[in-house]
Amino acid sequence: MIWLTWRQHRKQAFFTLLGFAALAALMVPIGLSMRHTFADLGLAECVGQLSDPDVTAATRDSCEAGFRRFTNQYGSLNLVAVLLLTLPVLVGLFWGAPLVAREVEHGTHRFIWTQGVGRTRWALVKFGLVGAAVVALAVCYGLGMSWWVDPLTHAAREGRLGLIVFDLQGVVPIGYTLFAVALGIFTGTVWKQMLPAMGITLAGFIGVRAVVAILARPHYQPARTLTFPIEGTGEPLTERGDWILSQGIRDADGTMVAADTQIMCPPGGKGPDGRACGAELGLGPGAYNWQLYQPAGRFWLFQGIETGIFVALAALLLYLAVRRIRRIA
């Protein structure tokens, strides 16, 4: 069985590795130059200094300026990062969907399942070997991307919990890739032709990922709230890297006056025409800034939960696929 799996998929494996190598050849130099600039601008120290609440205004300003310069130079790479999000689903489309669907489409399942090895064992060995290969691939991808996006996430306000950077690094790519492959295998046992199976895998993957990322992820842990007055010195007291779910300015009685914004006036400051701070927004006395957020320290917890969800889904799909395979003739 191992020989068969290798013989059947060696060409595919070769092209996958080739693609991966090409990607690495492109990304590694960019990553290196990005890290170089990051160090040159002194941003590595800034990350430490800015997390200290007693940081001096001068340091803060110079660091902000450095981050701005960095973002101006490399900010567009965030678009590249979005493209890289598609890698797990590509693996699912080209490794998962054809695994059963191609056998059935060509009728070769009737040849291979009537040899001495039963089809259940055939399925378990194939799923196991392909699964192990894609996990190895996903680990490389996850580690590589963690290294690559690290400077970008430090430069971005949301840090590593942000919507796209979170999905790119750490252990979640393993969960996504396994899920994509399992989904491909399963759809291949239901729609027994490659193209429909691939199409449905794509749609299903995007759907499940979007639902989990938008609806489930903000609630893995109860979000924290932070309130602070609208008058004060310097920046709002948010740790860099917190994932802000929603924010706004609330009145003294707690009603939201202005959503999706924060203000900060100097103490005792007046507006241009002598009105109180925020009066043009309709703020009364006692209004305060409010935000709902997930702290940056929860990154690995969230990674673990998200990976767990997708690995569990993958296991369920593979179980269903084995059951369906026993019904295909």
Partner 1 sequence: MDIALEADQLGKRYGRTWALRDCSLRLPAGRIAALVGPNGAGKSTLLHLAVGLLRPDAGAVRIFGEAPYDNPAVLPEIGFVAQDTPLYRDFTAAELVQLGGRLNKRWDAALARNRLAQLGIPPKLPVGKLSGGQRAQVALALALAKRPRVLLLDEPVASLDPLARREFLQSLMGSVAESETTVLLSSHLLADLERVCDYLIVLNAAQVQLAGAVDDLVASHRQLVGPRHDGGPIGGVNGVVRASHTDRQSTLLVRTDGPVTDPAWTVRDVGLEDVVLAYLADGATQTRHSEWGVPA
Which is it for strands 243-250 and 288-294: parallel, antiparallel or unpaired? antiparallel
- Name the segment binding partner 1 (CB under 8 A); options: 29-37, 115-123, 164-172, 214-222: 115-123
User: Cβ of residue 134: shortest distance to partner 1, in angstroms?
Assistant: 22
d(CA 49, CA 119): 60
Instruction: Based on the shown chain and the rule CB under 8 A, indicate whether residue 4 belongs to the binding site for partner 1.
Output: yes
33 contacts partner 1 (rule: CB under 8 A): no
Rg of the chain (C-alpha set): 25
255 binds partner 1 (CB under 8 A): no
Q: Which of 110, 224, 270, 323 binds partner 1 (CB under 8 A)?
A: 110
6 binds partner 1 (CB under 8 A): no
Among 53, 107, 274, 285, binds partner 1 (CB under 8 A): 107
Question: Which CB atom, from 33 or from 120, has the smaller least distance to partner 1?
Answer: 120
Considering the rule CB under 8 A, would residue 326 count as an interface residue with partner 1? yes
Sole window of 15-23, 61-69, 116-124, 232-240 interacting with partner 1 (rule: CB under 8 A):
116-124
Of 26-34, 43-51, 110-118, 208-216, the window that binds partner 1 (rule: CB under 8 A) is: 110-118
Binds partner 1 (CB under 8 A): choice among 117, 214, 216, 312: 117
From residue 181, alpha-carbon distances to 81, 239, 287 in Å are 21, 37, 51
Residue 323 binds partner 1 (CB under 8 A): no
Q: Does 72 bind partner 1 (CB under 8 A)?
A: no
Q: Examine residue 141 and tell whether it contacts partner 1 (CB under 8 A).
A: no
The span of 3-11, 46-54, 252-260, 268-276 binding partner 1 (CB under 8 A) equals 3-11
List of residues contacting partner 1 (CB under 8 A): 1, 3-4, 7-8, 106-108, 110-118, 120-121, 326-329
